[in-house]
């Protein structure tokens, strides 16, 4: 049920320099996977640094409803797993809230479990396409019944005797890749997924960490992943790094507001997630990595960002998978840069929590920035400063809300958003952390 409480409006006003050192909450992609793999393993998995955002809490709720025991132990989370094939039928509908990752990865798990389950989500998630997982997963022998247009609510009747899949992804999507691999965990034989371009590889890394056999080889511009089915997943402790997609917001604010210098400690730096940082360097951003290290099997480091007069950038379509969630905030930075930027090949943005291509263009336009959409490209005419003054419609999309609030730190007039409530899906504590750095974000 949608909330009947008033949606909190927030106004962001031009700020004094932002300074300080913060850590951001845990990586959302890794947190979902840690709970899911923990639930499929034998034994107790301890997770430290789990993101306690709405999206991940939905995954925790669903895995509990499927029989896993999940509890908190101080700051850590503990998952007592059921083993592959050991999940039990949920007594009620599984509500995945706002989370595409939770819904699509879970569809993979459910396909190869002998049970009946119904998944739904909020008004945003119920608009998002599920055919991209339903089509390949049908090959396991599971049955899917979806609302028209292959939208949630979705009924899944899983199968005890799942067939292993061989699938080439039509679009680069880590969610679809992961759904196929997760279905393959309980299929007899080898599951093969080919992706046209490399996408985030947290599933592959974590599956290995839990004892599964996964091989990865190059295939053209992409990769071919093979998973041997029916391994015994053994519980394994997981250390979740800070989410680079969340780090992007304080970094952007520091780059925008003159005199700022901000450090984000312990941020994940998996190379399949760092396309934004590559683009920012091309814009001339003062951005450095300190204390680069490996923690919990993932590269992490401290990111230092300082105010820079940015120049325009041309971001190639091939870079999109490594920065897919960062386009709204990059677009804000392009609006503040000097010159015309072109962000290419953004068709996948149309199927996120909102149509992020149109909504990002609208976010900028309402704040006085000249923007065009040409095919799947976003073109932003930056003039070195942003007029601001707009009320941004956030369409149940956390990344639009945070991008608009960061824009308001540097625009001439304050920017407002219509609804701050969705920020908690990925970045609980965003307002407090940003205010702690000196950002000016007030209830409006």
Ligand X SMILES: C=C(OP(=O)(O)O)C(=O)O
Q: Which segments are annotated as binding site for phosphoenolpyruvate?
A: 28, 100, 128, 175, 356, 399
Cβ atoms of 359 and 397 within 8 Å: the answer is yes
Stretch that binds ligand X, among 93-101, 314-322, 384-392, 405-413 (CB under 6 A): 93-101
Residue among 424, 443, 444 nearest 28 (CA): 424
The answer to the question of residue 199 lying near ligand X (CB under 6 A) is: no
The answer to the question of residue 100 lying near ligand X (CB under 6 A) is: yes
- Which DSSP helix (H) or strand (E) runs through 367? none
Q: How many CB atoms lie within 10 A of CB 135?
A: 14
Partner from ligand S3P, ligand X, none binding residue 353, C-beta < 5-8 Å depending on class = ligand X
Residue nearest to ligand X (CB): 100
Cβ atoms of 310 and 285 within 8 Å: the answer is yes
Q: Which of 53, 426, 428, 430 binds ligand X (CB under 6 A)?
A: 426
Which residues does the annotation place in the binding site? 28-29, 33, 100, 128, 173, 175, 325, 352, 356, 399
For residues 163 and 324, which CB has a smaller minimum distance to ligand X in the complex?
A: 324
DSSP letters along 307-358, please? ----B--EE-GGGGGGGGGGHHHHHHHHHHSEEEEEE---GGGGGSSS-HHH
For residues 235 and 332, which CB has a smaller minimum distance to ligand X in the complex?
A: 332
Cβ atoms of 410 and 435 within 8 Å: the answer is no
The answer to the question of residue 99 lying near ligand X (CB under 6 A) is: yes
User: What 3-state class would DSSP assign to 183?
Assistant: helix
For residues 122 and 325, which CB has a smaller minimum distance to ligand S3P in the complex?
A: 325
Q: How far apart are CA 77 and CA 47, in angstroms?
A: 5
Site string for ligand X, 131-160 (x = CB under 6 A): ------------------------------
Which residues does the annotation place in the binding site for 3-phosphoshikimate? 28-29, 33, 173, 175, 325, 352
For residues 140 and 178, which CB has a smaller minimum distance to ligand X in the complex?
A: 178
Return the bridge partners of 373, or none: 378
Partner from ligand S3P, ligand X, none binding residue 403, C-beta < 5-8 Å depending on class = none
Q: How far apart are CA 437 and CA 411, in angstroms?
A: 18
The residues binding ligand S3P (CB under 6 A) are 29, 101, 173-175, 178, 200, 324-325, 348
Cβ atoms of 244 and 251 within 8 Å: the answer is no
Give the shortest CB-396-to-ligand S3P separation in angstroms: 14
Q: How far apart are CA 56 and CA 75, in angstroms?
A: 15
Give the shortest CB-199-to-ligand S3P separation in angstroms: 6
The answer to the question of residue 273 lying near ligand X (CB under 6 A) is: no
Residue among 410, 436, 401 nearest 309 (CA): 410
Sort strands 415-417 and 377-383 into parallel, antiparallel or unpaired: unpaired
- For the question of residue 314 being annotated catalytic, the response is no
For residues 187 and 407, which CB has a smaller minimum distance to ligand X in the complex?
A: 407
Partner from ligand S3P, ligand X, none binding residue 99, C-beta < 5-8 Å depending on class = ligand X
Structure tokens at 385: 């400063």
The answer to the question of residue 49 lying near ligand X (CB under 6 A) is: no
Partner from ligand X, ligand S3P, none binding residue 173, C-beta < 5-8 Å depending on class = ligand S3P
The answer to the question of residue 97 lying near ligand X (CB under 6 A) is: no
Give the shortest CB-240-to-ligand S3P separation in angstroms: 13
Cβ atoms of 311 and 339 within 8 Å: the answer is yes
DSSP letters along 368-402, please? T-EEEEETTEEEEEEESS--B--EE--TT-HHHHH
Residue nearest to ligand S3P (CB): 29
Structure tokens at 326: 């960062």
Give the shortest CB-335-to-ligand X separation in angstroms: 20
For residues 229 and 428, which CB has a smaller minimum distance to ligand X in the complex?
A: 428
User: What 3-state class would DSSP assign to 276?
Assistant: helix
Stretch that binds ligand X, among 66-74, 94-102, 158-166, 297-305 (CB under 6 A): 94-102
Binding to ligand X, residues 310-329 (CB under 6 A): 325
Binding to ligand X, residues 361-400 (CB under 6 A): 399
Residue among 121, 126, 124, 179 nearest 151 (CA): 126
Catalytic residue among 325, 376, 397, 418: 325
Give the shortest CB-349-to-ligand S3P separation in angstroms: 9
Q: How far apart are CA 218 and CA 222, in angstroms?
A: 6
Q: How far apart are CA 193 and CA 187, in angstroms?
A: 14
Structure tokens at 69: 């025991």
For residues 15 and 56, which CB has a smaller minimum distance to ligand S3P in the complex?
A: 56
Place of tokens 């997981």: 238
User: In the complex, which residues of this chain contact ligand X (CB under 6 A)?
Assistant: 28, 55, 99-101, 325, 352-353, 399, 426
Active-site positions? 325
């Amino acid at each position: 049920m949608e909330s009947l409480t008033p949606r909190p409006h927030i106004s962001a006003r031009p700020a004094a320099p932002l300074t300080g050192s913060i850590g951001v909450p845990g990586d959302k992609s890794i947190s979902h996977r840690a709970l899911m793999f923990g639930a499929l393993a034998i034994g107790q998995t301890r997770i430290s640094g789990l993101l306690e955002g709405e999206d991940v809490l939905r995954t925790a709720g669903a895995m509990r409803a499927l029989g896993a025991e999940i509890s908190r132990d101080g700051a850590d989370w503990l998952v007592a797993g059921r083993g592959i094939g050991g999940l039990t039928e949920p007594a009620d509908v599984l509500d995945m809230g706002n989370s595409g990752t939770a819904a699509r990865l879970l569809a993979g798990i459910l396909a190869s479990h002998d049970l009946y389950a119904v998944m739904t989500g909020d008004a945003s998630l119920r608009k998002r396409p599920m055919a991209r997982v339903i089509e390949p997963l049908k090959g396991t022998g599971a049955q899917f019944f979806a609302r028209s247009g292959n939208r949630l609510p979705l009924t899944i009747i899983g199968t005890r005797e799942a067939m292993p899949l061989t699938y080439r992804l039509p679009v680069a999507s880590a969610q679809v890749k992961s759904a196929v691999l997760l279905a393959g965990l309980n299929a007899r034989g080898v599951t093969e997924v080919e992706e046209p371009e490399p996408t985030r590889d947290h599933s592959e890394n974590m599956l290995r960490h839990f004892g599964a056999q996964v091989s990865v080889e190059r295939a053209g511009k992409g990769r071919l992943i093979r998973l041997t089915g029916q391994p015994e997943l053994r519980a394994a402790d997981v250390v979740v790094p800070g989410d680079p997609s969340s780090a992007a917001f304080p970094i952007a604010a520091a780059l925008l507001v003159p005199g700022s210098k901000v450090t984000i400690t312990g941020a994940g730096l998996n190379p399949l997630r760092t396309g934004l940082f590559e683009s920012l360097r091309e814009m001339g951003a003062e951005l450095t990595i300190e204390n680069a290290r490996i923690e919990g099997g993932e590269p992490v480091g401290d990111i230092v960002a300082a105010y820079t007069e940015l120049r325009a950038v041309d971001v190639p379509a091939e870079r999109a998978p490594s920065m897919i969630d960062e386009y709204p905030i990059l677009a804000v930075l392009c609006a503040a840069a000097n010159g015309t930027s072109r962000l290419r090949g953004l068709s996948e943005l149309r199927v996120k929590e909102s149509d992020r291509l149109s909504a990002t263009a609208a976010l900028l336009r309402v704040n006085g920035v000249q923007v065009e959409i040409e095919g799947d490209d976003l073109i932003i005419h930056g003039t070195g400063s942003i007029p601001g003054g707009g009320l941004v419609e956030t369409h149940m999309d956390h990344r639009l809300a945070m991008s608009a609030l960061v824009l308001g730190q540097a625009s001439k007039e304050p920017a407002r958003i219509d609804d701050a409530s969705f920020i908690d899906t990925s970045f609980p504590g965003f307002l407090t952390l940003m205010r702690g750095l000196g950002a000016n974000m007030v209830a409006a």
